Amino acid sequence: MTTTHPEHAGGDQPVDLDDPDLSRFDIVRAGAREDDIEIVHYEPQVVPGSKAERRLSRTVALFFLLTGVSATAFLAIYIWWPWEYELGYGGDKWYTPLLGVTLGIALLGIGFGILTWGKKLLPKEVSVQDRHESVNERDRIITGQTMLYMADELGVKRRPLLGVSLLAGLAPVGAVAAAPLVGGLISQPHKNNQMFTTGFAPTDDGQKKVRLVREDGRPIRPADISAGGQITVFPGIEHGVSNKYADSPALLIHLRDADAQEAREANVRIGHDDYMWGNFAAYSKICTHAGCPASLYEQQTNRLLCPCHQSQFLITDNAKPIFGPASRRLPQLPIVVDDEGYFVATSDYTETVGPDFWERP
């Protein structure tokens, strides 16, 4: 049955649904015409009962059965496969891949089954539908006038007091809606001077200097770091190693003699005369660009590199940024060794730690 460009026998006249000669397709086509759709081409792809039809049906059935098998396999694996994590190589490492493969095949089976059914077994058709984008000028005018008349009825023009008072009354209501959200969320950024202090600020009213400690909380002696070596240090206070003091971590570097000399001279140039102790210098580990830990230290060039955006800081020149997007040097932590032979911070960082912001002095 090929219907190509059927004659518009009755034009747009509705067909007689009681006509016994009318096939179901005729009704469909007549219905489509009522929606301004013309089915201009309708062509079965397979002859009913043909070999091709049987073959395609078998293909579709095969896809659906594959889905059944694969989904069953998924369930069996889900239930019986050893899935609990074990160290080393084991069957549990295959659990997720097997689930993925069985689920994937099951879903692809449905997908390809439906696609084959739709694309190969169903008749091909070309239909043409009108877009109807023409504007109805009359309706535009009527709707416009109706809306204008609504404004007339409200009489805002004649009674301006109403409009003004409504606005004046509603504006605070809008603010009321926003107030709890803004008021609840807002938080003063400079509470306790938090943006300019870290865990290294001396405790007990500036009497007690804070020790530099390792990740496990042990204090550090100068002999612990060999020349050219470095270690991440934290304030030796409660929770000093945790994210509560995310701005505090510093890199304690033991410079070689020549480098240390250069670094000391650079220190003197900017008035940081006694920030180093011997050949040791400590710089904030928090990048002044976006706050990542600048943690890749290259011994040979004395550069500290931040792996996030590749800012590079020259340690022998007050950790000045020499490449990349950072624009400010890493703050230096002034250090000495206390009576017991451990490193302490003589004061907090004297510059602001971390990413830059508007009111940073």
Partner 1 sequence: MKRRKFEMAAVPGNAARGVDDRFQVATPLRRLLNKVFPDHWSFLLGEIALFSFIILLLTGVFLTFFFEPAMTEVIYNGSYAPLRGTPMSAAYASSLDITFDIRGGLIMRQMHHWSALLFMAAIVVHMLRVFFTGAFRKPREANWIIGSLLFWVGFLAGFTGYSLPDDGLSGTGLRIASGIMLSIPVIGSWLTSSIFDGEFPGTIIISRFYIAHVLLIPGLLLALIGAHLGLVFKQKHTQWPGPGRTNDNVVGERMFPRYALKQGGFFMVVFGVIALMAGLFQINPIWLFGPYEAWVVSAASQPDWYVMFLDGSTRLMPAWEIYIPIGDGYVIPPLFWPTVVLPGVLVGMSVLYPFIEARRLKDHRSHNLLQRPRDVPARSGLGAMAVTFYLVLALSGANDVIADKFNISLNAMTWGGRIGLLLLPPLAYYVTYRLCLGLQQHDREVLAHGVETGIIRRLPDGRFVEVHQPLHREEGELEYVGWVVPKKMNRLGALGPAIRGFFYPIEKPAEAPVSPASPPVDSDTERSEITSGERR
Q: CB 169 → partner 1: shortest distance, Å?
A: 29
Query: Is 129 or 143 the residue whose CB approaches partner 1 more closely?
Result: 129
Query: Is 169 or 189 the residue whose CB approaches partner 1 more closely?
Result: 189
Tokens of 217: 């909380």
Q: CB 105 → partner 1: shortest distance, Å?
A: 7
Query: Is 141 or 296 the residue whose CB approaches partner 1 more closely?
Result: 296
Distance, CA of 195 to CA of 331 (rounded, Å)? 13
Tokens of 57: 């049906």
Q: CB 30 → partner 1: shortest distance, Å?
A: 11
Residue 322: is it exposed, middle or buried by C-beta count within 10 angstroms (0-12/13-18/19+)? Answer: middle
Residue 315 is classified by DSSP as G
Of 2, 80, 88, give the one whose Cα is nearest residue 47.
Answer: 2
Question: What sign results for the dihedral spanned by CA atoms 21, 26, 31, 35?
Answer: negative
Q: β-pairing, 230-235 with 210-213?
A: antiparallel
The three-state secondary structure class of 170 is helix
Q: CB 219 → partner 1: shortest distance, Å?
A: 17
Residue type, 21: D
Query: Is 136 or 207 the residue whose CB approaches partner 1 more closely?
Result: 136
Distance, CA of 144 to CA of 138 (rounded, Å)? 10
Angstrom distances, CA of residue 330 to CA of 273, 314, 317, 356: 17, 10, 11, 11
Half-sphere exposure of 194 (CA within 13 A, CB side): 9
Q: CB 293 → partner 1: shortest distance, Å?
A: 5
Query: Is 254 or 328 the residue whose CB approaches partner 1 more closely?
Result: 328
Q: CB 87 → partner 1: shortest distance, Å?
A: 5
Distance, CA of 65 to CA of 67 (rounded, Å)? 5
Q: CB 61 → partner 1: shortest distance, Å?
A: 15
**Count of residues for the chain?**
361
Query: Is 180 or 189 the residue whose CB approaches partner 1 more closely?
Result: 189
Query: Is 114 or 164 the residue whose CB approaches partner 1 more closely?
Result: 114
Of 206, 201, 210, give the one whose Cα is nearest residue 237.
Answer: 210
Of 295, 315, 309, give the one whose Cα is nearest residue 254.
Answer: 315
Residue identified by tokens 């100068």 is: 222
Query: Is 89 or 358 the residue whose CB approaches partner 1 more closely?
Result: 358
Query: Is 305 or 344 the residue whose CB approaches partner 1 more closely?
Result: 305
Q: CB 226 → partner 1: shortest distance, Å?
A: 21
Point out which residues pair with 37 in neighbouring strands. Answer: 129
Q: CB 315 → partner 1: shortest distance, Å?
A: 17
Cβ–Cβ under 8 Å, residues 343 and 222: yes
Query: Is 156 or 232 the residue whose CB approaches partner 1 more closely?
Result: 232
Cβ–Cβ under 8 Å, residues 138 and 145: no
Q: CB 234 → partner 1: shortest distance, Å?
A: 8
